[in-house]
Structure 1
Amino acid sequence: MTEKVILDVDTGIDDAMAIVYAARASEIELLGLTTCFGNTSVEGATRNTLQLLELLGREDIPVSMGAHTPWKRGHLKEPAVHIHGEDGMGNHSLPLPKIEPTGKHAADVMAENVLRYPGEVTLICVGSLTNLALAIEKEPAIIEKVKRVVVMGGAATVKGNITPHAEANIYTDPEAADFVFQSGLPVTMVGLDVTMQTLLPKEQLEEWQNIGTPLSGFLYQIVGFYMNAYLTQGINGCALHDPLAVGAVIDPAFIKTKPMHIRVDCSESETIGKTVSLPGEAPNIEVALEVDAERFNQHFLSLVN
């Protein structure tokens, strides 16, 4: 049985890997891709997404552009040029896309699909949660009608990656994340607690180079750029952050979760964007704390190679 999915992205390099993974998984029916600011501008993320779909021959998947700015505040985070490149996708060489976005706002597309298929749609959000916060605000009925929401973001038991306290996607729009976590939506948080265990080794680059297809050449180029950023932190490889959120929908057994009460620090202090666990409170979301990294990595590579 396939899962109906909307994949919300800020298409940088790990988003690109997640899109390839989702587009090639027989377990997933991609109803659409929605875009947001984050790794790059929303315009850049939309262009990158369209270019990638053309490379995959999946022009049938509609792409809808979403938020340009955070939900309730000005920008906290600049595009991550040192990690994702000037264009947000490893300074790749894909031609400009011929296909165009739908013209509908991402938040409307999320809400429309959830209401059209009540109880069937999974939202996978691998950027900020701005589009989802806007969708709830516009159409609160989706809270009861969505199947579930899988979020790549947060760090419940480990340090952050954009500050010592905060993970990048949550930090990008803390208010939106806190609103989503408190909304009553069935959220699973797939954060740095597990994604940092899914390291793709540098040897994979050589394999992609040897395969010699347009897609493998593209992955060799962009993931090589990404791994160079990791190397500056002493890590020989890269984490499959966004692909793991997709993997958790393809096969929920890839991760083990624990119900927790998570709030997002929205203060103006150095801890802004921190996902704070409140043990005495009733759980509001599921948090992934364990991952079968070897089995997940093998499955990911079996579809993207």
Structure 2
Amino acid sequence: MSVQKMILDVDTGIDDAMAIAYAVADPAVELIGVISSFGNIEADRAAANALRILNLVGAPDVPVFVGHRNPLDHEYNRLPINAQIHGDNGIGDVQLPTPNQAVATQNGVDFLLAAAQQYGKDLTIVATGPMTNLAAALTKAPEVMQQVGNITIMGGALTVPGNVTPVAEANVEQDPVAANQLFTSGLPITMVGLDVTLRTLLTKDETAQWRTTEAGTKMADIVDYYINVYADIYPELGGCSLHDPLAVGVAIDPSFVETISLNMLVTTEHDPYYARTIGDKARLNAPNPNVKVAVAVDIDRYLAVFMHHFNHLFR
């Protein structure tokens, strides 16, 4: 079995925490680093949360780097909804021990480019927060980013409404300028958006299975917070969405989803369509569309693999 070198680019809220755990647990992945971004919480606290989660899941040696602290064209301001969904501390207000390791001093974008230079087509980048770090890397060294083999993002919504506005998904809405730079760059991207993540749900029946160890109980506490919030905000779903861990799963095994290939853009004008992810009318017939948009998901198979990894991790 070939092992993917993977970097996670996260704004460590609860679903990012699950994404980190999934990457650590999957034997097809060598997690070589985690970069933090703003989004669910400030970038510095996202990095601290990532360290705590790595410690919790038995991977304290994975380095964590801080990336951009603000969107490309405005200042970051944490939305009240983010504190509601992810807790004040970003991980369900569950207290985890302060890890011995510290955040790396190297800038996250520089780490990303160094890894891209070193591993090229063997590198997988999964971004589960705003796309600011990717856009910054693309601006700084486009020829290096062109070498990356797999870029998978959790973000956007093509066939369903957004979760911030009727057209905007949260990760894209945090920095539409960066997302548009990425989508129109020509880089091969797989978009794992609300089209599929809203269908991929977890309940307390599953999290209860982790409560056989102290670490598993902590993770269950974190995710149960998320499930409770979903019960209040999205009672029609019947569970919490596995947004970010699904993106990691698809980066490893693309057969979890069905995709359509499209040249896309992100609306950056401040109008009713701000942060919409949509096909680019000017490039509809351009050859070799660069974005694969996930539009259907094998829910049962993905959940079975997800639970296999988590049950093994917290055994």
Moved more, 252-261 or 165-174: 252-261
Q: Deviation of residue 144 (structure 1)? A: 2.1
**Which residue, 152, 155, 163 being the options, matches 2:154?**
152
d(CA) in 1 for partners of 2:309, 2:290: 33
d(CA) in 1 for partners of 2:61, 2:306: 22
d(CA) in 1 for partners of 2:280, 2:140: 29
User: Which SS does the other structure have where 2:293 is aligned?
Assistant: strand
Equivalent position of 1:214 in the other structure: 214
Structure 2: stretches of 5+ with no match in the other structure: none
- Is the Cα–Cα contact under 8 Å of residues 76 and 171 in structure 1 kept in the other structure? no
Equivalent position of 2:290 in the other structure: 284
d(CA) in 2 for partners of 1:100, 1:206: 31
- Is the Cα–Cα contact under 8 Å of residues 38 and 127 in structure 1 kept in the other structure? yes
d(CA) in 2 for partners of 1:158, 1:89: 27
User: Which SS does the other structure have where 2:71 is aligned?
Assistant: coil
Q: Deviation of residue 150 (structure 1)? A: 0.1
Q: Deviation of residue 77 (structure 1)? A: 5.4
Equivalent position of 1:72 in the other structure: 73
Equivalent position of 2:137 in the other structure: 135
- Is the Cα–Cα contact under 8 Å of residues 76 and 172 in structure 1 kept in the other structure? no
Q: Deviation of residue 96 (structure 1)? A: 1.8
Q: 1:27 to 1:144 in 2, by over 3 A?
A: same
Equivalent position of 2:273 in the other structure: 271
d(CA) in 2 for partners of 1:120, 1:206: 36
Q: Within 5 Å, which residues of 2 pair with 1:224-303?
A: 224-232=224-232, 233-234=234-235, 235-278=237-280, 280-282=284-286, 283-303=289-309
Equivalences, count: 303
d(CA) in 2 for partners of 1:40, 1:143: 27
Q: Deviation of residue 281 (structure 1)? A: 4.3
- Is the Cα–Cα contact under 8 Å of residues 148 and 185 in structure 1 kept in the other structure? no
- Cα deviations across residues 118-161 of structure 1 (Å, max 9, x unaligned)? 22111100000011111111111123211020000000111001
d(CA) in 2 for partners of 1:295, 1:118: 30
Moved more, 133-142 or 281-290: 281-290
Q: 1:92 to 1:10 in 2, by over 3 A?
A: same
CA RMSD of aligned residues (A): 1.4
Normalised TM-score (structure 1): 0.96
User: Which SS does the other structure have where 2:146 is aligned?
Assistant: helix
Moved more, 274-283 or 221-230: 274-283
Equivalent position of 2:13 in the other structure: 12
Normalised TM-score (structure 2): 0.93
- Is the Cα–Cα contact under 8 Å of residues 77 and 172 in structure 1 kept in the other structure? no
d(CA) in 1 for partners of 2:229, 2:250: 26
- Is the Cα–Cα contact under 8 Å of residues 12 and 45 in structure 1 kept in the other structure? yes
Equivalent position of 2:175 in the other structure: 173
d(CA) in 2 for partners of 1:17, 1:25: 12
